[in-house]
Amino acid sequence: MLTTTAKKMAQSKVQIHSTDTGSSAVQVALLTAEILELNSHLNTHKKDKHSRKGLNQKIENRRKHLSYLKKTNKPLYEKVLKECDLRK
């Protein structure tokens, strides 16, 4: 679970305006932070199948948001990839 400060830091990287909390870009940033946290958890708890399923769902959700961004707003898509250290 992400802390409030971690969420705000992830949001601030890609926010379009100061009150932007639900755009696809912000959701990708939040999902990326959650995925990184779950990844570190699963490195120590290898048999935690429930968390692995949640991780796979978050990865799929992020993939869908990135696909939507790529279709609708290419410059924002590129910015999100750069800020979240993702590859194409």
Q: Which pLDDT does position 1 carry in this prediction?
A: 83
Could you list the residue range(s) of the whole structural domain that residue 43 is in? 25-88
Q: What is the pLDDT along the chain (88 residues), one digit of tens a residue?
A: 899 999 999 999 999 999 999 999 999 999 999 999 999 999 999 999 999 999 999 999 999 999 999 999 999 999 999 999 998 7
How confident is the model at residue 38, as a pLDDT? 97
Query: Does residue 60 fall inside a structural domain?
Result: yes
CATH of the domain at 56: 1.10.287.10
Q: Is residue 70 part of a domain?
A: yes
Of 19, 28, 31, give the one whose Cα is nearest residue 66. Answer: 28
Give residue for tokens 């946290």. Answer: 37
Is the residue at 8 inside a domain? no
Domain-embedded: residue 54: yes
Exposure class string for 24-56: b at 16+ Cβ within 10 A, else e: bbbbbbbbbbbbebbeeebeeeeeeeeeeeebe
- Single pTM value for the model: 0.93
Number of domains observed in the structure of the chain: 1
Whether residue 49 lies inside any domain: the answer is yes
Domain membership of residue 6 (yes or no) is no
Residue 45 CA, chain-centre distance (Å), reads 22
Is 75 a member of any domain?
yes
